[in-house]
Structure 1
Amino acid sequence: MANFYSILLTLVTIAAGLVWLYDAKFKKPTRLTRIAEEEQRLQQQLDDEARERLAPQGRVAEFAQSVFPILFVILIVRSFFYEPFRIPSASMMPTMLAGDFILVQKYSYSIRDPLFRTELFATGTPERGEIAVFKYPVNPQVDFIKRIIGTPGDRIIYRNKTLYLEPACVKQSAECPQLQVIERDVRPQDEVYFSRSTPLVRYREQIGTVEHDILIDPTIAPRTAYFYQQAGTAPDEWIVPEGHYFFMGDNRDNSEDSRYWGFVPQDNLVGRATFIWMSFEMNRDASSWLPQWVPTAVRWNRLGSVE
């Protein structure tokens, strides 16, 4: 459940806050009165240790008081500013690898409540070329991460592994943009990426203002027959509806994306990927005595901003 931790953190924070509030409003005055009466009887002020022995705070209330401020700060940061995500698959290679841990900027596009994800107010507009986390439209309980290829009104064609883009016509413009081929250049590879035993070809591509690398598997034929079919368009063509976005993975032949299941509603957007803060290699042999989830190495060179 993609939103499970947000819901759990919210409920635990509220519970801790209510326990602390109840103790402060109903229990603490009784303790203070008892201490005041004892100090008056003894005609001297008690130190903190003596006060605690005389009128101790309950363990549950003490624990709630100590953890609530920490939980509250974490909840605010995670819900409205930055949330960590782990890259689980190879669909975004070479930009992101399985085992990368990223920070997603939650306020990039809108501010939403952490429980029901209701939009409180918009803060920005998704742009072509950005990498974003979103709720998978087929199963919103799952988070996906891909690159934004098309924004509302764009016409997109993916034919013979070549990407074509016709940006939406802006009403104020005197002339509408024409269909353009997204040019790509072969990149020299100091590191070769594979799909099983097949080496992938690395290209440099530009979407919007963002330049990034993509991977193509030359052994895989175009999968047009499996593409999402939009009414009124060719089998390998899509026109992005209003309020929706078209996403693709950088590992073009190994990515389940909008080509296969359609468009992402704006309400499904979680935030923009901004930074890789940790990256682990997970190449442990099956014969190892350590569990498979234990990392084999840290890829320090991958830490940094995301393009």
Structure 2
Amino acid sequence: MSFQSILGNFALILFVLTVGTGIVWFLDVFFLSKQRRLAADKALAEFDARTAKLEADGIRVEQGKRAEIEASILRQPVWIEYSGSFFPVIALVFFLRSFLYEPFKIPSSSMLPTLFVGDLILVNKFEYGIRLPIINKKVVEVSNPQRGDVMVFKYPVDPTVDYIKRVVGVPGDKVTYRNKRLLINGKTLSYQAMPDFLDEEHLNYSKQYTENLTGVSHRILNDEQAPAFVRDPFNFPKRENCTYDTEGFSCVVPEGHYFMMGDNRDNSLDSRYWGFVPDQNIVGKAFFIWMNLGNIKRIGSFN
């Protein structure tokens, strides 16, 4: 793993910080603080002996000196104090984003009109099973991704990068794309025309439709100028499950894998190009926009 990859893996950074601050906290609570207490008791005993001797000689000793000595010895070193303060906060954040909810920011327009560039979303980390952080190994089964889910996953070509697309094919499905229309297991999905969509970032209009993905209705975009065929698909694993022609493609989703597509159909680098998403790459189910600094009206759930 490269240094740049480590910097980009926030979960790994959090894990290292949690372990590091936790070790310091544990050592201080069960070992270092007791050593400071013993050192303080020894110093106070010596101070009391000297005080008693001085007072016996008629010399008065300032009473606040004893408390000052004790506080000075018991005071935590700065590095221990900061570690102990940050540990519970870092540990809580690590637990929340590893097992419950993780925030993501939408970086591209591939999921328009469902998700906009700059949308800050929440991803449910336990919807598709509880996974060990860092290695992303599933240890508890909960449920599996369903057609229509918006899912975050590790990009198969570069697992250090997170992608977000919509699940259009589950294991065993035959996904066919002909003239910009999806067929699942031989059945054409229903489409309803909507007013054209204005992409304010690029200042262009796209054809907009409501697509019913076997019970999940959501909006998609089509660019009439873009071809229906897939240009230069990658040589991805299990490529033999797919056939490509001038009208589109057809793929049979292998066991333990999912076929993903962006809602902005002609402006999305997705499974059409780089293939299937294995189960071990799943991060979680996206379900809520919690902020968009450019448009607070974007806050809310989505299909």
TM-score (norm 1): 0.83
- Deviations for 1:1-54, whole angstroms, at most 9, x for unmatched residues? 386110011001100011111222222112223444527948999998764224
Instruction: Give the equivalent residue in structure 2 for 1:110.
Output: 129
Q: Does 1:140 align with 2:140?
A: no
- How far apart in 2 are the matches of 1:232 and 1:105? 30
- The answer to whether the 8 A contact 1:127-1:208 is kept is no
Instruction: Give the equivalent residue in structure 1 for 2:300.
Output: 304
Change (3 A) 1:271 1:34: same
- The answer to whether the 8 A contact 1:274-1:306 is kept is yes
Change (3 A) 1:88 1:180: same
- How far apart in 1 are the matches of 2:67 and 2:184? 71
Bigger shift: 223-232 or 26-35? 223-232
1:192 match: secondary structure: strand
TM-superposed deviation, 1:226: 3.2
Rg: which structure is higher? 2
2:79 match: secondary structure: helix
Unaligned runs of 5+ in 2: 53-62
Instruction: Give the equivalent residue in structure 2 for 1:184.
Output: 191
Given residue 121 of structure 1, which amino acid in structure 2 is its aligned partner? V
Instruction: Give the equivalent residue in structure 2 for 1:27.
Output: 32
Given residue 209 of structure 1, which amino acid in structure 2 is its aligned partner? G
- How far apart in 1 are the matches of 2:35 and 2:241? 73
Instruction: Give the equivalent residue in structure 1 for 2:224.
Output: 218
- Structural mapping, 1:154-303, within 5 Å: 154-166=173-185, 179-188=186-195, 192-193=198-199, 196=202, 198-227=204-233, 230-231=239-240, 234-235=243-244, 236-280=249-293, 298-303=294-299
> How big is the alpha-carbon RMSD for the aligned residues of Structure 1 and Structure 2?
2.5
Give me the identity figure in percent.
Answer: 38
Structure richer in helix, relative to its length? 2
TM-superposed deviation, 1:102: 0.6
- How far apart in 2 are the matches of 1:264 and 1:223? 21
TM-superposed deviation, 1:234: 3.6
Given residue 10 of structure 1, which amino acid in structure 2 is its aligned partner? F
Q: Does 1:128 align with 2:147?
A: yes
- How far apart in 2 are the matches of 1:110 and 1:208? 23
1:222 match: secondary structure: coil
1:204 match: secondary structure: strand
Given residue 213 of structure 1, which amino acid in structure 2 is its aligned partner? R
2:240 match: secondary structure: coil
1:187 match: secondary structure: strand
Change (3 A) 1:46 1:5: farther
1:95 pairs, out of 105, 114, 120, with 114
Given residue 60 of structure 1, which amino acid in structure 2 is its aligned partner? W
Given residue 269 of structure 2, which amino acid in structure 1 is its aligned partner? E
- The answer to whether the 8 A contact 1:276-1:303 is kept is yes
Change (3 A) 1:22 1:96: same
Change (3 A) 1:23 1:219: same
- Deviations for 1:188-211, whole angstroms, at most 9, x for unmatched residues? 35x623684541011001113321
Given residue 82 of structure 1, which amino acid in structure 2 is its aligned partner? Y
TM-score (norm 2): 0.84
